[in-house]
Amino acid sequence: MTQVPEGACKDLKWWIENIQAQNGRAIQSLAPDLIIQTDASLSGWGAVCGGSRTGGLWLEHEKTCHINVLELQAIFLALNCFTKNISNQHILIKSDNVSALSYINRQGGTKSNDLLKVVDTIWEFCQARQLTLTGEHVPGILNGEADCLSRHWEDASDWMLNKQIFNQIAQTLGPFQIDLFASRTNAQCPVYCSWKPDPGSQWVNAFTLTWTNLAAYVFPPFILIARCLRKVREEKATVCLNFRGNLTARGLSEEAQTLITSSWRKGTSDQYDCVWKFFSGWCSEREINPFCASLEEASNFLAEQFEKGKSYSTLNIYRSALSAALPPIDGKPLGQHPLICRLLKGVSIKRPPQAKYSFTWDVQVVLDYIKSLGANSDLSLKLLSKKAVVLVALATGCRGSEIAKMVTNLVKIDAEKVQVGIMGATKTSKPGQTKICILPFLKVTDICPASVSNDEDHVFISFLKPYRKVCSATIARWIKDILRLAGVDTGVFTAHSTRGASTSAALRAGMAVEDIMKVADWTRVATFKKFYFRGTTSHTSLAAYVFQVGSLTLKTHLLYLAQCPEV
């Protein structure tokens, strides 16, 4: 009497239960519905299916396996990525490993129990989905893409929080239903969402999901922090967002993390976030991991945007944003790589940067309108505020954002001039640097701007209660209001045009270019001549050249403060 092994009994039982279902199936396989190329190395695995690519590193217990076992495991992981949601298909596996293909085509083997275990798992997976699986050998030289994915896997986002620390967080803020930014190597929850096709992920691309009413653990890459915060705000979601943990996982101290998260100004961060969102969408359409985009992929992205009509300056911003987010290539930041520099050079030749204006408005027209308003004492606080802002903009060449940051505690008055300091970072300022603007002044002893502004230390404040400081957008709106009333076409000219109009007028009036550059914070003459100096249809005060009428002085902006004691 022969005793049948338990494994054989399992196979016999399967045939008894399924033999009828297999009747009528073709002995010879038909043309494949799907072709998957796979490869494995001792460090990771890779797979390609059509235009989709995926791969990753091995788990700790997988790293000690024989390479033949890893080749079969790569096939299993690839099937999980590309076929877990399809059925009744013929799948062709292309690999350069003969042993793995032999076990696939023969549905097992007798030489390796480890290989048999993996292939058994593969066939159970295929059986559940009625998938027909065949293998075909491909020379290694023709399997280069999958081979590259298995050997060069440097995912800048592949970090995870220490498991013990995560458990402490989960005890306080959990339990969590899903880990929204994970892979099979770093998922903290059984259910997770990945960026690219992943063997164990429930979904791909967390931003395609609705986070509302989702108990989610969010551990995003640093560059996606702003986008995550915006999605949480827009969807009123309640999630555990751990973005500093991303830096903690890299071994950075609390002090280093604080400095890194403060390195970009808000405007730069918002601008880069918009670019990254656009680039991520572009990558998602092509099944590319944006955090590991290659030099060629970044170049293709920029070239495609050029073909869609993007200007040189826009593409230059794209370059800076990608350079800040992506890892260095060939030891250089992406934006400084010779190939990217050459590409942008080509853009500048084919589509040279164009100045916003080919001409500017006549400053005298605006000054004549301001003179026509009459005495300051007869003007409303609203009109007086707008008048003061325009005069300061013309007299200093300051940007609206700089005017909004002028503060009273840095105001110094003497018999001939007023010095107004700008508190906080400006577009061109360096850390610790305070910009001082010099305004001509006809001394009036009973005017003290700092004494009438209560707790608000900014020079320009709202003319409406509660009389708080105004932002740069308000400054710009005030300037445009006066320009429009003076007859300037504000459909063409923005508030920023005062910078070019006043400096152009000063140059025509005889002010030295060097003095203009110093006042306007330009480092190169070419910047002024190329982007600001325009025609119309050594003293360092810009106002002395812009304002040719002695009675028109900039005590106006001080009178504005002096006339509002109710503030």
Among 302, 321, 350, residue at a domain's last position? 350
Give every CB contact of residue 379 below 8 A, 6+ residues apart in sequence.
373, 387
- Is residue 523's pLDDT more than 80? no
Nearest to 561 by CA among 414, 448, 401, 421: 448
Strands 90-95, 193-194: pairing kind: unpaired
Domain shared by 199 and 298, yes or no: no
Contact 393, 501 (CB under 8 A): no
Residue 399's pLDDT band (cuts 50, 70, 90): confident
- For the segment 183-189, the average pLDDT, to the nearest whole number, is 79
Residue 549 belongs to what domain range?
363-562
In which order are the strands placed within the sheet that holds 435-440?
406-413, 417-422, 435-440
- Is residue 18's pLDDT more than 90? no
Buried b / exposed e over 86-124, threshold 16 CB at 10 Å, is eeeebbbbbbbbebbbbbbeeeeeeebeebbebbbebbe
Enumerate the H helices of 200-337 as residue ranges: 225-235, 244-248, 254-261, 266-285, 295-307, 312-325
Domain shared by 499 and 544, yes or no: yes
Among 290, 321, 350, residue at a domain's last position? 350
Q: What is the pLDDT of residue 538?
A: 41
Q: Which residue has the higher pLDDT, 259 or 330?
A: 330
Question: Which residues share a beta bridge with 134?
Answer: 92
Arithmetic mean of pLDDT over the chain? 74
Contact 34, 91 (CB under 8 A): yes
Q: Is residue 140 included in any domain, yes or no?
A: yes
Q: What is the pLDDT of residue 193?
A: 83
Q: What CATH number corresponds to the domain at position 299? A: 1.10.150.130
Terminal Cα-to-Cα distance of the chain (whole angstroms): 107
Q: What is the pLDDT of residue 532?
A: 52
Residue 155's pLDDT band (cuts 50, 70, 90): low
Question: Which residues share a beta bridge with 413?
Answer: 418
Domain shared by 270 and 134, yes or no: no
- Is residue 535's pLDDT more than 60? no
Angle at 507 between CA 505 and CA 512, to 5 degrees: 150
- Mean pLDDT lowest for which of 181-190, 474-483, 547-556? 547-556
Q: What is the pLDDT of residue 305?
A: 92
Q: Distance between CA atoms of 238 and 560, rounded to whole angstroms?
A: 47
Domain shared by 278 and 256, yes or no: no
Q: Is residue 156 included in any domain, yes or no?
A: no
- Is residue 267's pLDDT more than 80? no
Q: What is the pLDDT of residue 498?
A: 82
Which long-range contacts link 458-463 to residues 24+ away (Cβ below 8 Å)? 458/404, 458/405, 458/406, 458/407, 458/408, 459/406, 459/407, 459/408, 459/411, 459/420, 459/557, 459/561, 460/385, 460/388, 460/389, 460/403, 460/404, 460/406, 460/557, 461/567, 463/381, 463/382, 463/385, 463/564
Q: Is residue 356 included in any domain, yes or no?
A: no
Length, in residues, of the chain = 567
Contact 217, 188 (CB under 8 A): yes
Domain shared by 443 and 406, yes or no: yes
- Burial status of residue 218 (CB atoms within 10 A of its CB: 0-12, 13-18, 19 or more): buried
Domain shared by 216 and 276, yes or no: no
Give every CB contact of residue 12 below 8 A, 6+ residues apart in sequence.
4
Q: What CATH number corresponds to the domain at position 16? A: 3.30.420.10
Q: Distance between CA atoms of 544 and 130, rounded to whole angstroms?
A: 86
Q: Residue 106 corresponds to which tokens in the numbers above? A: 């023969």
The count of structural domains within the chain is 4
- Mean pLDDT lowest for which of 35-39, 94-98, 325-329? 325-329
Q: Which residue has the higher pLDDT, 550 or 77?
A: 77
- Mean pLDDT lowest for which of 219-223, 314-318, 440-444? 440-444
- Is residue 566's pLDDT more than 50? no
- Burial status of residue 12 (CB atoms within 10 A of its CB: 0-12, 13-18, 19 or more): exposed
Q: Distance between CA atoms of 383 and 478, rounded to whole angstroms?
A: 9
- Burial status of residue 553 (CB atoms within 10 A of its CB: 0-12, 13-18, 19 or more): buried
CA dihedral 357, 362, 367, 368 (to 10 degrees): -140
Enumerate the H helices of 488-555 as residue ranges: 497-508, 513-520, 525-531, 542-546
Taking the CA atoms of 480, 485, 486 and 487 in sequence, report the sign of the dihedral they define. Answer: positive
Q: What is the pLDDT of residue 63?
A: 83
Domain shared by 445 and 328, yes or no: no
Domain shared by 36 and 145, yes or no: yes
Q: Is residue 423 included in any domain, yes or no?
A: yes
In which order are the strands placed within the sheet that holds 240-241?
178-179, 216-218, 240-241
Q: Distance between CA atoms of 541 and 396, rounded to whole angstroms?
A: 8
Residue 558's pLDDT band (cuts 50, 70, 90): very low
Enumerate the H helices of 326-361 as residue ranges: 338-350
CA distances, 372 to each of 84, 335, 367 (Å): 77, 52, 9
Among 104, 119, 151, residue at a domain's last position? 151
Q: What is the pLDDT of residue 168?
A: 73
Q: Distance between CA atoms of 387 and 510, rounded to whole angstroms?
A: 26
pLDDT, one tens digit per residue, over 420-453 is 666 655 555 555 444 545 554 444 444 444 444 5
- Is residue 75's pLDDT more than 70? yes
Domain shared by 285 and 186, yes or no: no
Residue 260's pLDDT band (cuts 50, 70, 90): low
Domain shared by 256 and 191, yes or no: yes
- For the segment 448-465, the average pLDDT, to the nearest whole number, is 63
Q: What is the pLDDT of residue 216?
A: 80
Q: Residue 440 corresponds to which tokens in the numbers above? A: 């001509």
- For the segment 215-236, the average pLDDT, to the nearest whole number, is 74
Q: What CATH number corresponds to the domain at position 458? A: 1.10.443.10
- Burial status of residue 130 (CB atoms within 10 A of its CB: 0-12, 13-18, 19 or more): exposed
Q: What is the pLDDT of residue 241?
A: 60
Domain shared by 20 and 143, yes or no: yes
Q: Distance between CA atoms of 444 and 558, rounded to whole angstroms?
A: 10
Q: Is residue 158 included in any domain, yes or no?
A: no
- Mean pLDDT lowest for which of 3-12, 312-321, 350-359, 428-437? 428-437
Contact 56, 25 (CB under 8 A): no
Q: Is residue 1 included in any domain, yes or no?
A: no
Of the chain, the percentage scoring pLDDT greater than 70 comes to 69
pLDDT, one tens digit per residue, over 360-375 is 788 888 888 888 888 8
Residue 6's pLDDT band (cuts 50, 70, 90): confident
- For the segment 252-264, the average pLDDT, to the nearest whole number, is 65
Domain shared by 255 and 313, yes or no: no
- Is residue 461's pLDDT more than 70? yes
Residue 306's pLDDT band (cuts 50, 70, 90): very high
Contact 81, 93 (CB under 8 A): no
